[in-house]
Amino acid sequence: MVGRTCSQVEPGFFLSRLDQHTYEAEEARLRQGEVVERAQSPGRPATWTGAGFAHVPEGGTVEFLVSDVPASMEYDVVIRYEPQLPEPWEEVKLRVLRPGPIPTGSPCGNTIPADDQLVTALPARARYVLLPQPVCLERGVGYTLRLELARYTSRQAVPGASILLDSLVLVPRYSSMEMFIAGDAGAMGRREAFERYRCAQHAWPVGKAPASEVCTSLLTSMSAVIHGGALPCLCDPQGSLSSECEPHGGQCQCKASVMGRRCHHCSPGTFGFGPSGCRACQCHSDGAQSSFCDSVSGQCPCRPGTFGPRCDRCQPGSWGFPHCQPCQCNGHSDECDPRTGSCLHCRDHTDGDRCQRCAAGHYGNPTLASGERCRPCPCPDGPSSTRHFAASCRQDSRSRHVICNCNPGYTGPRCEECAPGYYGNPGQAGGRCQACQCHGHIDRLDAEACERRSGRCLRCLHHTEGAHCQHCQPGYYGDAARHSCRRCSCNVLGTEHSECSAQDECQCDRRSGQCQCLPNVQGQSCDRCAPNFWNLASGKGCEPCACHPQHSLGPACNQFTGQCPCQPGFGGRTCADCQENHWGEPSLQCRACDCDPRGVESSQCHRATGHCSCRQGVSGVRCDQCARGFSGAFPGCQPCHQCFGDWDRVVQDLAARTRGLALRAKHIQQTGIAGTFERDFRQLEEKLGVARAIVDARNATAGAVTQLLHTMEELRQHLGEATETLTQLEGELTAAQDENYNANHALGTLERGARGLNLTLHGLARQLHLLKNSNFLGAYDSIRQSHGQSRAAERDANGSSLAVPSAVSDAAATRRRSEQLMARRRDDFNRQSAANRRALSELGTRAQTLQLRHINEK
């Protein structure tokens, strides 16, 4: 013990727990029952100690041998178990068998025989029970604690009633120790604390529940008093990882599959205790009676008929574990696979699971029923010769001819030729067929892929070429031997046009993939300009940046836009222009763009002229006025009402149509109606003349001539009607032109009157200004006279524009009637003209299709 209060232990020593003296039921003496081993489940806490349990039936007894009591005193007895039935065990008896009478002067001298007879019950829902009274045991004396499971229940007999006993624990009773019963205040305080914190209950169940700090201190003192100090760890050097153990309880650090406080034996289901720990038994579930083997040899308990350390195979000469049966090998082998029954080491050139067929290179029927033997295949020679190129052969049952199954690379009835994809001369001694060395770039099934004798590759695949398909084809690059021929990724814009086809497929270096670049273009794919060059998209190579040497920050520019980095005060692509929002000649003078920022699309004006670029709805030199079609005060220019645009388009369209009609009328006046249709009439007369000549030249029948003359008369009538209609339209058009002229004249008069009124108003305004600077009395009469003139002028203006009827309204009505008449007559004229055109077209068609064959035959 070490420490200021002697409450700590030195390395290699420990303080015992209250359940230090635990006696396993599976290690005890069983009168009835059996040992049931159980392995620990990884990740789950154990509910038992030791290797397992003792399965004890009703009426059975278990004797625990106790000879290592550390001190003479009273001990509480705890029974740990695992219930198997739903009801509690009514009667369980514990008897202490002593080696002889108890001396009266011994610590247990007051024990009477009745104290060694204990009776208890085992609750069905618990895993341990504390016996109702302690037993007195002395140090250095051997005892036998006989535990009898007397009766399960008295209500009725339960066949097969049993229970799993885990262990019996002797817990030192604190009331027998001087440190708790000395009578002084310290002893009374320790006892009160021990009882208050229930320190003894930590030793009853399985597990290491954390104890309170008070209990830990008291248990440390109890262990030191009972054992006279700390106990040595005594960790097994083979089964433990360290010679040190836990300071409370003494548990050593065990290796894999090793258990026990000292790590001195294998855990259930393992064997071979040694420096590496223990190994799993791996007993076969079908052939072994249990999954636990001998902890030393590892031999599993085999079922009848099984064999081996794991009980996992049959005896030699049999197979089919766990239902073993003799091997069936047609007399050509004495052993077979113990799991599948396949025969092993077949003799007499036989092969197969049952040695039922001939081995490779032989043919025949080696089964017991046939009585035949296996003979060598003639492909072309036997398997023992240097000219045997078949894996196997067979004999046709009808022709009795031997058919060879050639090895890869051989073909022919006797495998005497090379197969497609192979070359060589197998007909010679020592000759053989080899795979064509084409780097995997030919079709092995193509007989013409390579030359049969020399092995030269003829039909290379995967974009390769060469005697061994060792080169990439033009337009591809890489290593053909590594199947890495890839298409050249040349940029068409940056590659020499002579290296590219019409499909924009270019050639490059076959090894590196470098494309042939245009001037001033760089990169493996010719996809970028050289430094200080730009405009790859031109397709003619990159052109110099040409940055101004004094006005730019360097010779490099943007490869796509060509923009150079300009110094302050300069701009443009090459920095040869004025800076942004300025115009002029940089070498002379740069002026700021005088544009109203509220009315421009861009703050940059024309660099040479300084003209501003106005946004929609804005006009003016500085873009500071509202444009035509927009209203409001700049910059709040708003589009005029929709009617402005609609009427503006209507007026413009009417003006254009009026101009067209005027030109048309002028043309009719100059040429007349006949002049307008002169060409059509001339063509019609020509066709009629041709038709008349044809009719006159032949002996036509009377009916055909009559029909033709009737058709011509109808055409003359249509032409007359068209001429009359055109004459009428000409008169109406002339009248419309006269009305239009009169309307224009009236409008001109009104405009001149309006200008006169405006001049009068301006004169009155000047007179009013002069009156302001003269005396009041002298100007009064002039004001009244001017006022009267102004009112009269206002009435005249209103009468000419607002009164109905008025000169303005009459002129407008006249204009509308003229437009309506022109539109109506124009529609009639267009319809009649279209009808005449259709009639002329039909006549021309009929004249062209006229057939005089029947007339000639007459």
Using the 8-state DSSP alphabet, how is residue 545 labeled? -
Q: Using pLDDT thresholds of 50, 70 and 90, give the confidence band for residue 857.
A: very low
Peptide bond just before 635 cis, omega within 30 deg: yes
Q: Chain-centre distance of CA 157, in angstroms?
A: 69
DSSP letter for each residue of 734-749: HHHHHHHHHHHHHHHH
Q: How confident is the model at residue 54 (pLDDT cuts 50, 70, 90)?
A: very high
How far from 559 is each of 470, 515, 537, 543, CA to CA, in Å?
39, 20, 10, 10
State how far Cα 856 lies from the chain centre: 87
Mean pLDDT of 366-391: 86
Give the pLDDT confidence score for residue 858 in this predicted structure: 40
Q: What integer pLDDT is reported at residue 698 of this predicted model?
A: 47
pLDDT in tens, 167-183: 999 999 998 898 898 88
Structure tokens at 568: 């302050």
Q: Hey, do 13-252 and 645-848 end up sharing a CATH topology, with the first three levels equal? A: no
**Is it the case that residue 800 has pLDDT exceeding 70?**
no
Percent of the chain with pLDDT over 70: 78
pLDDT at 732: 66
| pLDDT in the model for residue 650 | 78
Top-confidence residue, 12 or 683: 12
Q: Are 393 and 363 in contact (CB under 8 A)?
A: yes
Give pLDDT, residue 545.
95
pLDDT: which is higher, 664 or 37: 37
Alpha-carbon span 188 to 89, nearest angstrom: 38
Top CATH class of 645-848 equals: mainly alpha
Tell me what the mean pLDDT of segment 58-67 comes to: 94
What does the pLDDT look like over 430-482, one tens digit per residue? 888 999 999 999 998 898 999 988 899 999 999 999 999 999 999 999 999 89
Please, what CATH class does the domain formed by 13-252 belong to? Answer: mainly beta
Task: Please compute Rg for the chain using Cα positions.
Answer: 63
User: pLDDT-derived band of residue 99, with 50, 70 and 90 as boundaries?
Assistant: very high
**CATH code given to domain 313-376:** 2.10.25.10
Question: Residue 359: what pLDDT?
Answer: 87
**Rounded to a whole number, what is the distance in angstroms from the first to the last CA of the chain?**
156
Domain ranges of the chain: 13-252, 313-376, 645-848
pLDDT at 8: 84
Locate tokens 């004495």: which residue? 334
Both tokens of 59, joined, read 């009426």
The neighbouring-strand residues paired with 137 are: 73
d(C-alpha 83, C-alpha 125), whole Å: 8
Q: What is the rounded distance in angstroms from the CA atom of residue 551 to the CA atom of residue 561?
A: 18
> pLDDT of 545-599, one tens digit each?
999 998 999 999 999 999 999 988 888 899 988 888 888 888 788 888 989 999 9
User: Which residue did the predictor score with more confidence, 857 or 508?
Assistant: 508
Eight-state DSSP code of residue 199? G
In the structure, what pLDDT confidence band is assigned to residue 776 with cuts at 50, 70 and 90?
A: very low
CA 515 to chain centre: 35
Is the pLDDT assigned to residue 531 strictly greater than 60? Answer: yes
Give the helix, strand, coil percentages of the chain, each rounded to 5.
30, 25, 50
Q: What is the mean pLDDT of the chain?
A: 83
Q: Enumerate helices (H) and strands (E) in the chain, giving the number of each.
A: 9, 50
- pLDDT tens digits for 737-766? 666 666 566 666 666 665 666 666 666 655
Q: For 479-508, write each residue's pLDDT tens digit.
A: 998 999 999 999 999 999 988 887 778 999
- 138-152 mean pLDDT: 94
How confident is residue 614, by pLDDT bands cut at 50, 70 and 90?
very high
CA of 127: how far to CAs of 40, 56, 58, 136, 356, in Å? 17, 16, 18, 25, 63
Is the pLDDT assigned to residue 92 strictly greater than 60? yes
